[in-house]
Amino acid sequence: MNLKSIKNRIYADYFMPSRLDEYNNMLEEFINNDFKFITIDDYYNNRFNTEDKIIILRHDIDSDLKIAKEMFEIEDKYNIKSTYYFRLKTIDIDFMKYLNKKDIEVGYHFEEIATFAKKNKLKTKEEVYSNLDNIVKEFERNLSYFKDLGIEVRTISSHGDWKNRELNIRNLELVDDNLLKKFKIIEAYSIEDNLDFRIMDNPYPTKWVGGNPREILKNDYRRSLLLVHPRNWDSCFHVRLKEDLGRLLKK
């Protein structure tokens, strides 16, 4: 990281004013132009009108529950359906149940490879591969934990941790077709093959990677996906401090 990107990162994480008005305006414009928002599970199971211009809206809640809740309040004003993925450390049972009641999909943002590697001080990819059976067991346990909480997980998305970058292995490598079939779950990236457009938000000042939401309007794309991370839309001093300390202590 050069000095400028360190400065940007500190600003985005600790001091940036909320960008939720910008989020609101973006959604409003899509609604005004007859776009319909749906969940990952709805898309996979063809629960949408094929005539409609649709946007699959996915949230990966990495750290900031408060911002996730504010985002949902905005979406709810427009009756927008979407998918929210929770990590084990961002689970909020009341919020999850509230979302379910509103017909919003709640999924699991999984990261067992990174968690297992940190806990057992694995240093190489090969060590991960030789422990894969145990890591899968961990995944199964965590998935049933959601069930115990009364949350039916139908789709999952893979989280990216500093440990994944260190080991050069994605959490996604844990799941194969057999595992997905066994639990009757869908992996979020697997639905993306036939989309017209797909973008992801990015921390300030880049804001988006893979394109810009305006391109959806301009080209009138019929099948798009927006992946957003609540943390990119507001700063949150104490959450970021905790996260950065955790990273320093290699937790």
Please report, as ranges, the residues that interact with Zn ion according to CB under 5 A. Answer: 60, 62, 159
Distance CA 87, CA 60 (A): 8
Token couple for 250: 């290699």
Question: What radius of gyration, in Å, describes the C-alpha atoms of the chain?
Answer: 18
Give the separation between CA 60 and CA 231, rounded to whole angstroms.
9
Which of 248, 246, 196 has the alpha carbon at shortest distance from 225? Answer: 196
Q: How far is the CB of 230 from Zn ion (least distance, A)?
A: 10
Nearer to Zn ion (CB atom), residue 90 or residue 223 = 90
CB of 63 to Zn ion, least distance (A): 9
Output the smallest distance, CB 47 to Zn ion, in A. 25
- Residue nearer to Zn ion on the CB measure, 60 or 75: 60
Please say which residue, 62 or 201, places its beta carbon nearer to Zn ion: 62
* Block residue for tokens 């059976």: 133
Task: Choose among 188, 204, 209, 233: nearest CA to 26.
Answer: 233
Strand, helix or coil at 61?
A: strand
159 DSSP assignment: -
* Nearest distance in Å: CB 58, Zn ion: 11
CB of 171 to Zn ion, least distance (A): 9
Q: Which long-range contacts (CB under 8 A, 24 or more apart) does 191-194 make?
A: 191/40, 191/43, 191/44, 191/56, 192/225, 194/223
CB of 3 to Zn ion, least distance (A): 26
When the beta carbons of 87 and 223 are compared against Zn ion, the nearer one is 87
The SS3 of residue 169 is coil
Q: Tell me whether residue 54 or residue 91 sits nearer to Zn ion (CB atom).
A: 91
Residue placing its CB nearer to Zn ion in the complex, 58 or 159: 159
Pick the closer one to Zn ion by CB: 42 or 62.
Answer: 62
* Cβ burial 100-111 (10 Å sphere, 16+ → b, else e): eeeebbbbbbbb
Taking CB positions, which residue lies at the least distance from Zn ion?
159
Using alpha carbons, select from 157, 193, 186 the residue that is nearest to residue 84. 157
Q: Least CB distance from residue 85 to Zn ion, whole Å? A: 8
